[in-house]
Amino acid sequence: MSTRETAIKAAATYFNDGRFLSDLAEQVAIRTSSREEEYEDDLKNYLDHLMRARFESMGFEIEIHPNKMLERAPFLVAKRIEDPSLPTLFSYGHGDTVPGEEGRWRDGFDPWSLETVQLPSGERWYGRGTADNKSQHAINMEAMRHVIETRGHLGYNVTFLIEMAEEMGSPGLAEFCRTNRDMLAADLLIASDGPRFSTDGPDIKLGTRGALNIRFRLDYRDGGHHSGNWGGLLANPAIVLMHALTTLVSRTGEVRHPGLKPERIKNSVRDALGKITVTSGPGDPQIDPWWGEAGLTSAEKVFGWNTFEVLSFITGDPEKPQNAVPPFAEAICQIRFVVDTDPDTFIPLIRKHLADEGFEGITVEPARMSMLRASRLDPEHPAVDWAVQSIERTTGKTVTVIPNAGGSLPNDIFLNIIGMPTLWVPHSYTGCSQHAPDEHVLPPLLKEGLEMMTGLFWDLGDGFP
């Protein structure tokens, strides 16, 4: 008899016998770094060959659409229509990655080859894209496959979108979704990205913080000049820029300008975050309790507030420093922001602030092609409790509900442009080293993710929340 438990057991067998590992290795082997133009063919091949074949084997029809903003990063839309009168599930993943950073991985690992390592803490699978996001959309695809194979159908329709430029801020995605809103319309989004809050149990996130990358640049002259002959006479742009940045963020990480942070945390969000204790897990860095907005809990700092980070700072030639006053300084900074603030005001506000503080000549411009905006589903939406019950039934573990992730995703496009409730169920963990050398995943979390997504997609066939 075809049952929910039969489907979950079949998914677990697929994982245990090594087929999931083999399929993930095939995904990792495609060099899908979206920031590097030389991988254009790889970005397209990931969709047109690998993803196309896998979706078609599940009874999906595939269309690949151009990205008007970034030609090398098209969109794949996979549709499975069982009955036009049935509700539709929307899911999402991104096949692109950050650069591989070859030569910086442990034991000389090739980032584009999946490596399995047994450590005292357990097994790890290393490779670029393992955590972000190839394993995560693979889990959701395979969970659907096992429901289809076990039940013979899903009991609803599916639209699955895979993009190839999320790591660049999803340029072109908002326009594509706005233009094709009717084609992409759905009743519920269930997707996976980012880390779990804790390795001890699953969680559901209802939105994300937004992310705005900003380039600060100060040019004083064409070249460097001898620091012995000119030091004390020529203004040093690095020192000036450093002081300018400290008017925006304090030495303890507090955002200084009130226009760059929310006035307060809403009571409903504070109540939800009050149930969460953020701690460092195995392999994680230790939290600095003195860093960030004073008076907030760790959960409120990362899920309910805005932060200002300096991602890089360059002046002169770091590889070959000279005894010279440098001609320029440049910093790439980032504001992570919650839905309660308006990011369109940030750059004009910073420009005015620096001018008022007497810092002249500093250019302030966006540093990425597009910005990921903040979003948040109402925690009282009925889909939230439905998903919690389904996952707890599968895992026997308590599910943590988080109003929005600390990281950023194009969730606002799905929630606000297409118009659907959004649930994110992550399968990675905070110590996975995503966006860094040694990116990896933990097999037990992937297996549990596959099982609970199979349960979710099965339950959805019994009725949408």
Instruction: Give the residue among 45, 53, 227, 24 at the shortest CA–CA distance from 127.
Output: 24
> Which tens digits make up the pLDDT trace of 400-418?
999 999 989 999 999 999 9
Write down the pTM of the prediction: 0.89
pLDDT over threshold 70, residue 124: yes
**Model confidence pLDDT, tens digit, residues 449-460:** 999 999 999 999
232: pLDDT strictly greater than 70: yes
- The position carrying tokens 């600390």 is 406
Query: What is the band of 1 on the pLDDT scale with cuts at 50, 70, 90?
Result: low
From residue 169, alpha-carbon distances to 20, 280, 374 in Å are 29, 28, 12
Over residues 2-58, the pLDDT tens digits come to 899 999 999 999 999 999 999 999 999 999 999 999 999 999 999 999 999 999 999
Residue 284's pLDDT is 79
Q: Each residue of 109-119: pLDDT tens digit?
A: 999 999 999 99
Sign of the Cα pseudo-torsion (344, 349, 352, 355, in order)? negative
pLDDT digits (tens, 9 = 90+) for 126-167: 999 999 999 999 999 999 999 999 999 999 999 999 999 999
User: Is the pLDDT reported for residue 268 higher than 90?
Assistant: no
7, 77, 381 from 188: Cα distances, Å: 22, 16, 11
**Residue 88's beta-bridge partner residues?**
157
**Res. 370: pLDDT tops 90:** no
Each residue's pLDDT tens digit, 277-329: 898 877 778 999 999 999 999 999 999 999 999 999 999 998 899 999 999 99
Cα atoms found within 13 Å of the Cα of residue 184, Cβ hemisphere only = 28
- Residue 265, sorted as left (phi over 0), alpha (psi -120 to 50) or beta, turns out to be beta
